Amino acid sequence: MTMIGNNLQAVQERIRRACEAAGRAPGSVRLLAVSKTFGPEAVREAAAAGQHAFGENYLQEGVAKIEALDAPPEPLRPRPEWHCIGPVQSNKTRLVAAHFDWLHSVDRLKIAQRLSEQRGAEQAPLQICLQVNIDGGPSKSGVAPDEVLALAREVALLPRLCLRGLMTIPEPQPDFEAQKQVHLRARALFDAVRAAGLPGADQFDTLSMGMTGDLEAAIHAGSTMVRVGTAIFGGRSYPAA
């Protein structure tokens, strides 16, 4: 097995153990492999090891990767499920609407409206998560917790979109218990929105929270999707600014 394959197996075991400790079924938590800064061959390697869903933070890099993996003579099959998990400016929504299956970072109605208008009628609905700044982190994007329900009501009515849940990226916390307490706030908000009776409420089923450093705490708090990059692909090298 390759290094990426071994790493995937280790992360899946972490998820399994966290689910067991929390009294949850392992299949209740999906793994999103965050492939930003890694090339198409790393995605191919992960896909060969059984990984299906991939997350990209940088829009243009992600689109180039998707196009490379869709191209002849060896398009990647089955086609991965592509998640955009980074911030999206309003002038870049067309790229998301054309190429991605999911977007986790909607925090304004304007972005959702543009995506709805630009998603092709021949495409499956774009799966949407609202990004919540759950702990008020000054450097983090996201809608304020007390504004989530109002935004969710608007987004749920838009055609060619499917509101699936919430996404959070809290500030780093010093230990498991502190991590869990922040994630529990997101879980309570998720439950409140799901109970509000929005259109399509039966599909509001995704709480995207937890990364390499805090996935166990996130799973204990109720995450249904963890976003893991470093523990799968290794350390990243970022180009100089």
| Cβ atoms of residues 120 and 99 within 8 Å | no
Longest Cα–Cα distance in the chain: 50
Whether residue 239 is contained in a domain is answered as no
pLDDT value of residue 26: 82
Average pLDDT over every residue of 164-193? 97
Whether residue 141 is contained in a domain is answered as yes
Q: Which helix (H) or strand (E) holds 48?
A: helix 40-48
In the predicted structure, residue 240 carries a pLDDT above the cut 60:
no
pLDDT value of residue 237: 65
Domain that holds residue 12: 3-233
Whether residue 223 is contained in a domain is answered as yes
Domain of residue 228, CATH code: 3.20.20.10
Whether residue 198 is contained in a domain is answered as yes
Domains in the chain, number = 1
DSSP secondary structure letter of residue 88: -
Percent of the chain whose predicted confidence (pLDDT) is above 70? 97
Whether residue 77 is contained in a domain is answered as yes
Whether residue 213 is contained in a domain is answered as yes
Half-sphere exposure of 60 (CA within 13 A, CB side): 3
Structure tokens at 59: 């829009």
DSSP secondary structure letter of residue 162: E
pLDDT value of residue 235: 81
In the predicted structure, residue 211 carries a pLDDT above the cut 50:
yes
Whether residue 170 is contained in a domain is answered as yes
Whether residue 240 is contained in a domain is answered as no
Residue 241: band (very low, low, confident or very high) from pLDDT cuts 50, 70, 90: very low
d(CA 194, CA 19): 22
